[in-house]
Amino acid sequence: MGFADQRFNVNLSILFTELPLLERPTAAAAAGFTAVELWWPWVDSPTPEQSELDALRGAIRDAGVRLTGLNLYAGQLPGPDRGALSVPGEESERFRANIDVAAGFAESLGCTALNALYGNRVDGADPAEQDALALENLALAARAADRIGAVLLVEALNQPESPRYPLVSAPAAVGVVDKVNAATGLDNAQFLMDLYHLAMNGEDLPRVIERYAAVTGHVQIADTPGRGAPGTGSLPLEGLLDRLREAGYEGWVGLEYKPGDRPSAEAFDWLPREARAAR
């Protein structure tokens, strides 16, 4: 096996960011990719103007790429990942307002995975109350995902970079997945296995793959240290992806790494061009 046997998409919120948003789908296509994913592109607005949604939809369609994953509103990204759905008050209300907007946008492009960042602990809020709010909002998101034939993803981040984010291990994230599925009865909540974040947490990645491949709905990669392209660090990503395939995972692998001090188009030399187009 190897990299050539995977189904890669490019995260346009961390790669090609030297270009305006509407130019990134075409740039990904020019680099040989046929699928992309996005964080919620409007960090200040969970409900952007219809014209903005239409413009991005048109750019993706015109580029001839497929949108395979979309984050729900999560506040200010990039930066310390904080999410919104477990933050009491205005932020959780903004998350709720975003659910149907994001689901509708995803459905219009055939996107079948919505990612909901859990949200940081905040001063003055009881963690138990935040967890209850999170479960309520995740259940709403899971039902919206079900209506469009999508899965809802729950992701573990890493403690060094997101010290107030409570899901900093694979078991913690999968535990939330189980609670959402129990609450809705839909069984469409799944684990987003980001190998970079899990490695930064010091987890045993082969063991994580063995235990959780069956409940994994999406995989993302970057090398450690530095969150660069495969081969820039010490993480054996090719072998880990082989393990995932052997464990039965056949879904998308999102390229969620930083290109470094070079244009994004030059940050894919580790992957032969013929292996970039999803089969």
Active site residues: 155, 256
Q: How far apart are CA 266 and CA 244, in angstroms?
A: 27
- Say if CB 194 and CB 230 are below 8 A apart: no
CA nearest 115: which of 149, 138, 135?
A: 138
Extended strands (E) in 163-259: 189-194, 216-221, 252-255
The partner residues of 7 in beta bridges, in order of sequence, read 252
Give the Cα separation of 37 and 21 in Å (integer). 12
Element (H, E) at 51: helix 50-63
The helix or strand, by DSSP H or E, that contains position 182, with its residue range, turns out to be helix 170-184
The C-alpha atoms of residue 247 and residue 213 are separated, in whole angstroms, by 6
SS3 105: helix
Please tell me the distance from the alpha carbon of residue 192 to that of residue 184, in angstroms, as a whole number.
19
Alpha carbon distance 219, 242 (integer Å): 12
Cα separation, 77 vs 43, whole angstroms: 6
- Distance (Å, whole) CA 85 – CA 96: 8
* Nearest of 227, 230, 271, 238 to residue 14 by alpha carbon: 227
Q: Is the dihedral of CA 169, 256, 100, 278 positive or negative?
A: negative
